[in-house]
Structures are given as C-alpha cells and as structure tokens.
Amino acid sequence: MSRRFTPKVVTANALLEGDAVWLRADGGWSRDMHDAQLFEEEELANEALRHALAQPDLVVGAYLADAKAGPEGPVPTHFREDFRTRGPSNYHLGKQAEA
C-alpha cells in the first residue's frame, strides 16, 4: 500500500552559488522557502519537479521536500529542510554571514 501524499515544495541547489533554492509558483527560484509554492496534490508536485529537473543550467539535485503551510508561506516539517533554510553551515558565507 502506498503512503498518503503529504504537502511538498520543490527544492534544489543553485548551480553556480550552491545555495538552497525553492521553486516559486511562477516557475522561478527563491532563496527563501516562504516564497515557495506548496503542493497539496501529488500530480502537480511531480509536474513541478519535472519542470525543475529540466533546468540543469540553473539548479542541481532537485527533489520534493515535505512542508506545511505557515503564516508567511511554506515551512519545513523535517530537520534537514529546516537546516537548509538557514544557509551554509559555514558562518562566513551565505545567509549566516551576518551572524
């Protein structure tokens, strides 16, 4: 028996910078997960993933990640995705440079 589909976002890494990115509703990419499109239907999520995989000149490693609706947009439901929203683990680069 297959598992019940849970809400997802499409995520990947930007090819040139390596930053975690999320697919927006307009088909573009954002470095902020809150901007991502949240998919409630499996077929639409898989279609969006195919769209992402067809952009090897922009992103690598695209996949569907579990998420849920938050007050400002999608939020992660798994620690791995929560970690990815904070940027590189090296505090001298990316989103954490100001920390």
Q: Residue 91: what pLDDT? A: 58
Torsion angle (degrees, nearest 10) of CA 72, 78, 82, 83: -170
Q: Where are the domains of the chain?
A: 8-88
| Residue type for position 44 | L
Q: Residue 92: what pLDDT? A: 63
What does the pLDDT profile of the chain (99 residues) look like in tens digits?
A: 678 999 999 999 999 888 899 999 999 999 999 999 999 999 999 999 999 999 999 999 999 999 999 999 999 999 888 878 887 665 565 566 665
Question: What is the C-alpha to C-alpha distance for residues 67 and 26, in angstroms, rounded to an integer?
Answer: 19
Q: Residue 17: what pLDDT? A: 85
